[in-house]
Structure 1
Amino acid sequence: MIIALLITFIFLILRFTVTLFNFLSNPKLPRIGKHYQHKVSILIPARNEQDDILNLLQSIQEQDYPYYEVIVLDDNSTDNTYAVCRGFADNHPKFKVIQGKPLPADWLGKNYACHQLAEQATGDYLLFLDADERVENSLINSAIHRMNLRGLSLLSLFTNQDMRTPGEKMVVPLMHYILLNLLPLRLVFLVKSASVSAASGQFMMFDAADYNKYRWHRLVKNKVVEDVEIMKLVKVSKLNGEALLANGMISCRMYKGYNEAVNGFGKNFLAAFNYNIIGFLIYLAILLGGPVLIILTAKPNLISMMATLIISGRIMISLMAGQNAWRNVLWHPIQMLSLLLIGITSIQKRLTKTTEWKGRKI
């Protein structure tokens, strides 16, 4: 019992320390007023995105950076994605739509779509975005400035999350919660080892010359968490990569409703632990079981210490992520139960080899 409590508090304190480091170091993309003139190829893989992609295309057309081309790849959609994008592109000359080739057996869908998009791009920078996002002013200028300032081959941003239903609010905040209390985000750039890597496929900006040399998506063609794997390869190749928070300049509505969010996180959550089920279960046991154990001691000093660490950590992470801090504090137990369900879902799908997304097995 004493050993279990000790392990729990060590884990709580370590996570709080990481959170505090992130909060004080403020790993956000700075907003820059300087204007650049580099051509940016904005590349959007789209599969069954007829309900969302028009918002992204309109936001790109309305933002304040004029030197770009947009290429949308319709990845064998079964809805009207191509027609929606075609109709928009017909009225906006910087936009074009292509139809993806059939998916080869040894590729995953998004990776192959991104590979095809890169082959069509002509920009100095390649910016991969997901179809369910919205960009804001200052994003592209700020990203190019950061690429130049740091000499980056890859800049990845963790976008602000648009959550509209209670179900989404029970699940989606877990992304930033886990990220920002496990990884000091500034170290992705500062530590050159590939073991310290993080990235989000929702925003991946590449130096085009480096991308064309290495063809990163081809190198990770069968990887579920391709974004992190690419960051690792960038660092292994002695190039610079950085991952930051988006600072309100790009947002994404990842999922619509509770079930979709649980299934969406479940498809790649275990992959973040390199499919080590035992290690993943130990993490869940300490994260979720430890606080329960402390509560069962009925000792007010231990419970108050635990609550202080958890609540202050949730507040700091929520502020960094641009989320409602008090809602995340109040809903913390519900979100932890959702995390348990995601963990069970992820393990079950892994063991039964039934992981699917958008009609394709992964």
Structure 2
Amino acid sequence: METLFWVTGGLLALLWTWRSLDTAFGLPRIADITQPQWDLAAAPAAPRLTVIVPARNEERDIEACLTSLLALDYPDFEVIAINDRSTDSTGAIMDRLAAGSPRLKVIHVNDLPSGWMGKTHAMWLGGREATGELLLFTDGDTFFRADSVRRAVACLRQRGLDHLVLFPTMLFKYAGEKVIVSFFHAALSFAHRPWKVSDPKAYDHVGVGAFNLVRRAAYEAIGSYSAMRLEVIDDLRLGKLIKDHGFRQDVVFGLDLVRIHWATGALGVVRTLSKNTFAILRFSWTLVIGGSIGIAFLSLGPLAGLIFASAWAKLPFAIALAAMASLYVQARPVTTISPWYFFAHPLGACLSLYAIWRSAWQTSRRGVVWRGTSYSLDLFRKAAGKD
């Protein structure tokens, strides 16, 4: 039994140390556009920008979102807000703001065509009406600092990019939200290397719903949102299509340039994850089971070994935990979450496993329910290439 502990602990120590070291060398390679070198005045001939904002029942946040966008210090831009069949005052708020600003155009969607997700249809409508050379796709609950877009466009142009993602700053109201978000930053180090996104030979790609800045030519070349009609995780899919088509892509940090509040409380985050986690796993029970085993082994194994192994056999498990803790320290400048949340890592793992299985179970039973609209699971399986 002691040999098994040494082998298992050694494997865990190796894996977590590998991810910790890779992250330590990789994260500093990601540009921080809050730095002075990116505070560039927009050139007189700066490309026209269209910001596309879909929203359904976002009356709580849409006014603050659009107001922050209209206050951007970028010289030539328009904002297209799409009211996607809202049953609250979202549309009325949009119309009121549009009456006071010529930069804001509002599109009201009353009926959803068959074969579309509501959000992807709204994005497609916005892209069709856009007049900008650059398109910024965002969400109706996102808040922008005045210089955010100017800095991002400067980076995109200087680096000759076709697609740029700015990681948003997460806003937190409760500790439970931090537990899950900090867990994800550590766990996702095994699945995603954002510093490799710009490498055309790497499999890594990126897309974030709060800030996807893309050249119109690249957007049209991938087939626009018409190629993602039934895509639940459209932001990630947009990034993958852009990377697969050979366009240049990168990601940047920028604390407080773009801010979002993802969900309220730990259970709120779980409910949010339950909407799209099965879609991220391409509606595959094989990936659900395999992913769950991987999360349990990697995230719960080190603590279990430290508890149950005897004497010196605890050492490799302790090394694994130390490497895991270092990821929380490294993430602090990006997430603003205290590294002490490392001690809640097992809880974050359990909540994430619950969210995965809740998403798979609910979606398998009743299909995809998104923003009050129900969709047959068969449609998504076919769209994901599953019969």
Q: 1:34 aligns with which of 17, 33, 40?
A: 40
> Which residue identity is paired with 2:14?
I
> Which residue identity is paired with 1:120?
E
C-alpha distance in 2 between matches for 1:23 and 1:238: 23
> Which residue identity is paired with 2:162?
S
Q: Secondary structure at the match of 1:268?
A: helix
Aligned: 1:291 with 2:302: yes
> Which residue identity is paired with 1:10?
L
Aligned: 1:241 with 2:227: no
Shift of 1:316: 0.5
- Cα shift readout 1:329-350 (whole Å, capped 9, x = no counterpart): 3433332232222222223234
> Which residue identity is paired with 1:81?
T
Q: Secondary structure at the match of 1:89?
A: helix
Quick check: which has more Rg, 1 or 2? 2
Q: How does 1:78-227 map to 2 (within 5 A)?
A: 78-180=87-189, 182-193=191-202, 195-227=203-235
Shift of 1:74: 0.3
Q: 1:72 aligns with which of 81, 87, 91?
A: 81
Shift of 1:327: 4.4
Aligned: 1:314 with 2:328: yes
Q: Secondary structure at the match of 2:194?
A: coil
Q: Secondary structure at the match of 1:104?
A: coil
Shift of 1:33: 1.8
Aligned equivalent of 1:4: 8
Aligned equivalent of 1:20: 24
Q: Secondary structure at the match of 1:190?
A: coil
- Cα shift readout 1:34-68 (whole Å, capped 9, x = no counterpart): 12232211110001100011111121233322321
Q: 1:51 aligns with which of 45, 50, 60?
A: 60
Shift of 1:310: 1.7
Instruction: Identify unmatched segments of 5+ residues in structure 1.
Output: none
- Cα shift readout 1:228-276 (whole Å, capped 9, x = no counterpart): 2222221222211223334331111111233321111222234334432
- Cα shift readout 1:165-221 (whole Å, capped 9, x = no counterpart): 23323333344344445422121111345x321221211111123323443311121
> Do 2:169 and 2:259's aligned partners in 1 also have CA atoms closer than 8 Å?
yes
Aligned equivalent of 2:385: none
- Cα shift readout 1:18-47 (whole Å, capped 9, x = no counterpart): 322333324544541212232211110001
Q: Secondary structure at the match of 1:227?
A: helix
- Cα shift readout 1:119-166 (whole Å, capped 9, x = no counterpart): 111112110111111111321122112221222221122211011123
Root-mean-square deviation (CA, aligned residues, Å) is 2.3
> Do 1:18 and 1:183's aligned partners in 2 also have CA atoms closer than 8 Å?
no
> Do 2:152 and 2:166's aligned partners in 1 also have CA atoms closer than 8 Å?
no
> Do 2:303 and 2:321's aligned partners in 1 also have CA atoms closer than 8 Å?
no
> Do 1:28 and 1:245's aligned partners in 2 also have CA atoms closer than 8 Å?
yes
More moved, 327-336 vs 250-259: 327-336
C-alpha distance in 1 between matches for 2:76 and 2:183: 36
> Do 2:196 and 2:204's aligned partners in 1 also have CA atoms closer than 8 Å?
yes
Q: 1:329 aligns with which of 327, 330, 342?
A: 342
C-alpha distance in 2 between matches for 1:128 and 1:325: 30
Q: 1:53 to 1:90 in 2, by over 3 A?
A: same
> Do 1:49 and 1:81's aligned partners in 2 also have CA atoms closer than 8 Å?
yes
C-alpha distance in 2 between matches for 1:218 and 1:354: 22
Q: 1:358 aligns with which of 336, 349, 371?
A: 371
C-alpha distance in 2 between matches for 1:292 and 1:81: 47
Q: 1:220 to 1:125 in 2, by over 3 A?
A: same
Q: 1:145 to 1:106 in 2, by over 3 A?
A: same
> Do 1:28 and 1:244's aligned partners in 2 also have CA atoms closer than 8 Å?
yes
C-alpha distance in 1 between matches for 2:161 and 2:299: 38
* Identical amino acids, percent of aligned pairs: 24
C-alpha distance in 1 between matches for 2:190 and 2:338: 15
C-alpha distance in 1 between matches for 2:184 and 2:344: 15
C-alpha distance in 2 between matches for 1:90 and 1:298: 71
Aligned: 1:252 with 2:260: yes
Instruction: Identify unmatched segments of 5+ residues in structure 2.
Output: 376-387
- Cα shift readout 1:58-111 (whole Å, capped 9, x = no counterpart): 212333223211110000011110011111221122112110252223222211
TM-score in terms of structure 2 length: 0.85
> Which residue identity is paired with 1:60?
L
Q: 1:115 to 1:175 in 2, by over 3 A?
A: farther
> Do 2:182 and 2:337's aligned partners in 1 also have CA atoms closer than 8 Å?
no
C-alpha distance in 1 between matches for 2:366 and 2:25: 38
Q: Secondary structure at the match of 1:73?
A: strand
